[in-house]
Structure 1
Amino acid sequence: MDYIITTDQLTKKYKDFTSVNNVSLHIRKGSIYGFLGPNGAGKSTTMKMLLGLTASTKGSFTIDGKHFPGDRLAILKEIGSFIESPSYYANLTGRENLDIIRRILGLPEETVEDALGLVGLTEFGSRLAKKYSLGMKQRLGLAGALLGRPPILILDEPTNGLDPSGIHEIRNLVKSLPSLYHCTILISSHMLSEIELMADDIGILNHGNLLFEGSMAELRQSALQAGFAADNLEDMFLSMIDKDNADRKQRAKL
């Protein structure tokens, strides 16, 4: 199997609290990997470790054959990221906002127009960011992640706060990207129905532990074997989380 991202026992502890606990991920090159879990499960922390935004307590990871932390800068050059709500200079245009990122990254000027085109904002590139709708701001955030067409995208809740129309827009855009330029996407979302429509593989975290990793078909098979409803991703996800929480309570009593 051709994996572009692997983690080995990746762990993050804060004093007496373990946010991410011995997580080993295997993300296939060219796939969309849906990273799921309740609030506080450790998804954002895992993503931030992959981006070097927070240090791991234990474990390691490899991205496109490069090992962290020795190859940190080389790794970061291959990743475009959208973490939480992106920030903008409100009094600059969308194009000017992207140009600032482009200069920081040392990319050619034409990458700005390319990114605007990928997210469908070319005709709005000269509009001030403060006049963008929420959906357009999210697309501008994605354009920032897409500058230079990095081979890997890490997207944390890219549809957060959007109306159904905006969610549909972002989902179709994300779903199209691997075939557009052969990238790999790690995406987290609480919109399980959206992940079901776009993801090739699924990873499910709860209390920092990886409960499941595999394809949608493998998740359905696992759910059926456990006696869970397997009609949709939401049912399977909730059943798995509920069982894990019940098992935790039971162990705590012993």
Structure 2
Amino acid sequence: MDYISVQNVTFQYESQNESGTVIKDPVLNDISFDIKKGEFVAILGHNGSGKSTVAKHLNAMLLPASGKVFIDGLDTSDEKVTYDIRRKVGLVLQNPDNQLVASIVEEDVAFGPENLGVPSDEIRKRVDDALKAVDMYDCRLNAPHKLSGGQKQRVAIAGIIAMKPDCIVLDEPTAMLDPKGRQEVLDTIIKLNRENGITIVMITHYMEEAVLADRVYVVDNGRMLTSGTPREVFSQVELLKKHRLDVPQATELCHKLRACGVEINELPLTEEECTSMLKEVLR
């Protein structure tokens, strides 16, 4: 059974114009996909494609206008299980400043478990374990506002880990970070998935980040454009370009070389694969 099941979901935001008329802005249109427990999934799309709206459906922050979202068999539209769903699925926002609430790092990480009514001894253990998991234990007594962007985001992730979710949804967690901060956060995400078995759903518009996932879903204009392994998705260069989406630089370079007549059987995804392939071609 799939851990997350999104079934024919449609959603629109509602607003009023100056005359008081309700205006509906369609964002998702008949979206369906499934995620297995322990998977690392990337949801890819350009700004305004609907991918962040998808993220907010996965812990019942938003509910479908039609269709269904199930988390470990629980229906997000059932108000009686909203609390259980949010314990199972933690959401990390794009801007870590929006999730940091305390003046000391370890107090911030303890905030979630305290609200769940976890006993004090257990909170202490969870906070220490969570900070060690994101390599921020040495900063536990620091003030969050003095940390770098990457460090803040790792503390925000630790705050979610301390609540012991089965799944973490990250909504463009590296969008506001410099290259060093981005790498710190990505290393943390990969470690949580591969060593701790936490299901990861990462919303991103960075192709090089999507390459790290087990499976990629591409959303465009509120619809599912394509899906598959990173290699399957990024081999569809023309389709992605047609919808104003990029591919990893290594993939694009070899795609252009192939168009010039260079014999390349399989497009690379990473710089290392590209270097190895070019060495073979030049021989």
Q: 3-state DSSP class of the match of 1:24? A: strand
Once structures 1 and 2 are overlaid, which stretch shifts more, 28-37 or 13-22? Answer: 13-22
Is 1:205 the equivalent of 2:219?
Answer: yes
Matches within 5 A, 1:164-179: 164-179=179-194
Conservation of the 8 A alpha-carbon contact between 1:80 and 1:147:
no
* One of 92, 97, 114 as aligned partner of 1:103: 114
Q: 3-state DSSP class of the match of 1:138? A: helix
Cα gap change, 1:41 to 1:124, in 2 (>3 Å): same
Is 1:136 the equivalent of 2:151?
Answer: yes
- Residue in 2 aligned with 1:193? 208
Cα gap change, 1:224 to 1:135, in 2 (>3 Å): closer
The whole-number CA distance in structure 1 between the counterparts of 2:36 and 2:232 is 15
- Residue in 2 aligned with 1:5? 4
* One of 99, 117, 139 as aligned partner of 1:124: 139
Cα gap change, 1:133 to 1:72, in 2 (>3 Å): same
Q: TM-score, normalised by structure 1?
A: 0.83
The whole-number CA distance in structure 2 between the counterparts of 1:113 and 1:226 is 46
Is 1:75 the equivalent of 2:90?
Answer: no
Q: TM-score, normalised by structure 2?
A: 0.75
Q: 3-state DSSP class of the match of 1:162? A: coil
- Shift in Å at residue 44 of structure 1? 1.0
Q: Which runs of 4+ in 1 moved over 6 A?
A: 224-229
Q: 3-state DSSP class of the match of 1:77? A: helix
* One of 213, 224, 229 as aligned partner of 1:215: 229
The whole-number CA distance in structure 2 between the counterparts of 1:38 and 1:232 is 12
Q: After superposition, what is the alpha-carbon deviation per residue over 1:190-235, rounded to whole angstroms, capped at 9, x for unaligned?
A: 2211221x211001111101101222233245x2796989x95466
- Shift in Å at residue 143 of structure 1? 0.8
- Residue in 1 aligned with 2:105? 94
The whole-number CA distance in structure 2 between the counterparts of 1:50 and 1:24 is 12
Cα gap change, 1:85 to 1:61, in 2 (>3 Å): same
Conservation of the 8 A alpha-carbon contact between 2:112 and 2:160:
no
The whole-number CA distance in structure 1 between the counterparts of 2:105 and 2:24 is 43
- Residue in 2 aligned with 1:182? 197
Q: Unpaired runs of 5+ in structure 1?
A: 240-254
The whole-number CA distance in structure 2 between the counterparts of 1:161 and 1:83 is 11
- Shift in Å at residue 113 of structure 1? 0.9
Conservation of the 8 A alpha-carbon contact between 1:10 and 1:59:
yes
- Shift in Å at residue 16 of structure 1? 3.4
- Residue in 1 aligned with 2:42? 34
Cα gap change, 1:226 to 1:142, in 2 (>3 Å): closer
Question: 1:105 corresponds to which letter in structure 2?
Answer: L
The whole-number CA distance in structure 2 between the counterparts of 1:17 and 1:26 is 25
The whole-number CA distance in structure 2 between the counterparts of 1:55 and 1:173 is 29
Paired residues in the alignment total: 232
The whole-number CA distance in structure 2 between the counterparts of 1:217 and 1:154 is 22
Q: Taking CA–CA contacts closer than 8 Å with sequence separation of 6 or more, which of the two structures ends up with the larger relative contact order?
A: 1
- Residue in 2 aligned with 1:61? 69
Conservation of the 8 A alpha-carbon contact between 2:11 and 2:64:
yes
Q: After superposition, what is the alpha-carbon deviation per residue over 1:5-34, rounded to whole angstroms, capped at 9, x for unaligned?
A: 111111111333210111001112211100
* One of 51, 56, 60 as aligned partner of 1:52: 60
The whole-number CA distance in structure 2 between the counterparts of 1:227 and 1:99 is 42
Q: 3-state DSSP class of the match of 2:107? A: helix
Cα gap change, 1:139 to 1:58, in 2 (>3 Å): same
The whole-number CA distance in structure 2 between the counterparts of 1:12 and 1:32 is 25
- Residue in 2 aligned with 1:252? none
